[in-house]
Structure 1
């Protein structure tokens, strides 16, 4: 009797191992549903996040929110659920490396360390995209990175690392070298210059640049919306817009859309006031719907 049991157990074990190997090869992460997730981004670090799904049947297009400066936790970007989820988009918000429930050491970005920090955080986002593309409720053909402020340096670099990213939205940042926004704020807050005066002075900036996003911008080929507030006193919106428009004019394969919201500042969506600006929300959703629409025919 035992001579037959052992081979059968061995056969079953081998079959199970093969099935697991196939599942891993297919990239089946086992992710499903809404709620809390802990995703490995490398051999030593895990990123904690929350998936928020819309009502109705999936699979859903996904927006991964990449935060700017601040405490680095998912709560910073959770209010954007009010922008995307009612429009039928899933939203994933996460704790940046070393913050909240994510592992690792927190990293405060400076001009001097900006190259290393941005590259590291971009790799984390790229790894998140790789895992979330296999979430059972997500349409892997429609994944967007949505970046705010400082996240505008991180998200385009992450998008350049991953073919799974199909669209990109950058809000109030991302086109100037890291050193320029600090100098811009100094000119406005300390020297009391107007936005136009500070923008003109930036042309003569000769300080440290830190990370420069221009090489990434010149290589981006996915649809990208650049959204700025014309009255932004924290990021040089007019300088950024000029860089993007010049880059777009020099390329034939880019797909950039620039929207400059008159009267709006760095809090473009109105989150600090606790009420989303419906006009800005409409700009974003209308653009994203069109960017992710199936090709005709």
Structure 2
């Protein structure tokens, strides 16, 4: 049933490439660096390494790289350990945990890995699993097992102090890293979070898409009603993995020091709400060692952005790697870091709203049943009309309004067009794309669906009035198909109100 709902209603939308949705990130753009941008952190000439595996990246000449394999949550995973080339006393280590996306290669985080290695750490970055990870399936518990497998591998490396190894998590990794740290407090010495969120993944993703629409000038029922209702239905159908993950509860169980970092132009997680929410959760658990910092001109991943978070540049925010390096040195040397939040004020125009599970009357099975009733009623009426024309049986009784044909045609166009358009909206929003031309705050396709929905309802009223006047004179199959059409029209009316097609 769940897969059928997905196929008919959503056509396997790419909205979970988050976040979040949970935590999708814009692609690096070819836009030239903004004025004042710092030089690329991997500007040192890279050298290829003999014998490197197919997933092994090239690394700068001032660093040393070693390939590692380790067991995660039932899989053997592969990664690279970057370290300063010069030997010395055992150094701190940090494991990088990816954001959303199955099979993300280690090369996606090489800018961060190089920057942190230059701060005197050994950095393990690994290829993210694809097995057991998809739009419809993922487990933060399994991802946390992968991260802990990487921690164990890094703690065992020569030159790494096993008591000074921690986790860094980006976006979705901001839910995974704390979960891993809460499970192994003796193994994880610290936690660094970038673009992390204290809300549930479903609330985060719903906010990110709605905020993007509002930022583009969209208003009204599309963003106020249809978008959050669609995500609730997706979660109810079991098609949104980990929708109600208890981020606050997990944070309350973390005992290691936590460094949180956000770009002021984070468009994928609410930057103004996250630090106080996460600080409160840590404090409830008795963890007073948390340092939170905003970076100016930075996006969701703390990379520089020239346009308010839409475009990601390759460069990290100035001072970000240095903050991570100095903070790790302090906490692993027993020095207590400053507690609190600092940096410029973040940009968050719209607050998040709670996204509760669907009530029974609006659940995914009910939505699917409503769709089935409507398509059967509308389609059945049209099919009989087509058969009559083929057989040249003459027109159906004129005592029932000809508006029946209009209702039978407009209804399915609105319903199928609605779901198709919502898939498009969510895909475009996940890519931070413009929704297109607007009229009175409504994208033109949405406005067209609303107008067509009004036409269908008006035609249904006309059919109902004609049916009431002439019902006794309508016989046989004509009576049955018209009654079914009216039933479909009544369901359509309730459906269109629920999804906001008949609301301002």
User: What range is the shorter-chain TM-score in?
Assistant: 0.7 to 0.9
- TM superposition shift of 1:261: 2.3
* Contact 1:230 1:265 survives alignment (8 Å): yes
Equivalent residue, structure 2, for 1:276: 316
Residue 97 in 1 paired to residue 106 in 2? no
Residue 86 in 1 paired to residue 118 in 2? yes
- TM superposition shift of 1:248: 4.2
Equivalent residue, structure 1, for 2:85: 55
Equivalent residue, structure 2, for 1:19: none
Distance in structure 2 (CA, Å) of the matches to 1:224 and 1:294: 14
- TM superposition shift of 1:188: 1.7
Distance in structure 2 (CA, Å) of the matches to 1:34 and 1:151: 23
Structure 2 residue matching 1:291: 3-state secondary structure: helix
Equivalent residue, structure 2, for 1:27: none
- TM superposition shift of 1:119: 0.6
Number of aligned residue pairs: 244
Match of 1:290 among 330, 339, 350: 330
Distance in structure 2 (CA, Å) of the matches to 1:166 and 1:78: 22
Match of 1:241 among 252, 275, 295: 275
- After TM superposition, the structure 1 stretch with the greater mean CA deviation from structure 2, 247-256 or 143-152, is 247-256
TM-score by length of 1: 0.74
- Post-superposition CA distance 1:127-173 (Å, at most 9, x none): 22123212222110110101111111111111112221101100001
Residue 265 in 1 paired to residue 299 in 2? yes
- TM superposition shift of 1:125: 1.0
* Contact 1:47 1:94 survives alignment (8 Å): yes
- TM superposition shift of 1:46: 0.1
Unaligned runs of 5+ in 2: 1-63, 218-223, 236-242, 306-311, 337-504
Q: 1:161 to 1:188 in 2, by over 3 A?
A: same
Structure 2 residue matching 1:77: 3-state secondary structure: helix
Match of 1:221 among 246, 252, 255: 255
Q: 1:149 to 1:279 in 2, by over 3 A?
A: same
Distance in structure 2 (CA, Å) of the matches to 1:242 and 1:38: 38
Match of 1:108 among 118, 121, 134: 134
- TM superposition shift of 1:36: 1.4
Match of 1:255 among 289, 298, 316: 289
Q: 1:118 to 1:249 in 2, by over 3 A?
A: closer
- TM superposition shift of 1:252: 3.7
Structure 2 residue matching 1:93: 3-state secondary structure: strand
* Contact 1:187 1:193 survives alignment (8 Å): no
- TM superposition shift of 1:189: 1.9
Unaligned runs of 5+ in 1: 1-32, 99-104, 195-200
- Post-superposition CA distance 1:67-114 (Å, at most 9, x none): 10245211111111232111110111101123xxxxxx151255xx55
> Which of the two has greater strand per residue?
1
Distance in structure 2 (CA, Å) of the matches to 1:144 and 1:109: 29
* Contact 2:269 2:300 survives alignment (8 Å): yes
Distance in structure 2 (CA, Å) of the matches to 1:66 and 1:34: 18
Distance in structure 2 (CA, Å) of the matches to 1:282 and 1:269: 14
Equivalent residue, structure 1, for 2:166: 144
* Contact 1:232 1:264 survives alignment (8 Å): yes
Distance in structure 2 (CA, Å) of the matches to 1:233 and 1:109: 21
- TM superposition shift of 1:289: 1.9
Residue 153 in 1 paired to residue 175 in 2? yes
- Post-superposition CA distance 1:154-210 (Å, at most 9, x none): 11111112221101100001422111221112212223379xxxxxx9xxx895542
Distance in structure 1 (CA, Å) of the matches to 2:165 and 2:215: 42
Residue 231 in 1 paired to residue 258 in 2? no
Distance in structure 2 (CA, Å) of the matches to 1:96 and 1:85: 20
- Post-superposition CA distance 1:253-293 (Å, at most 9, x none): 43111112244321413393122322222322222221112
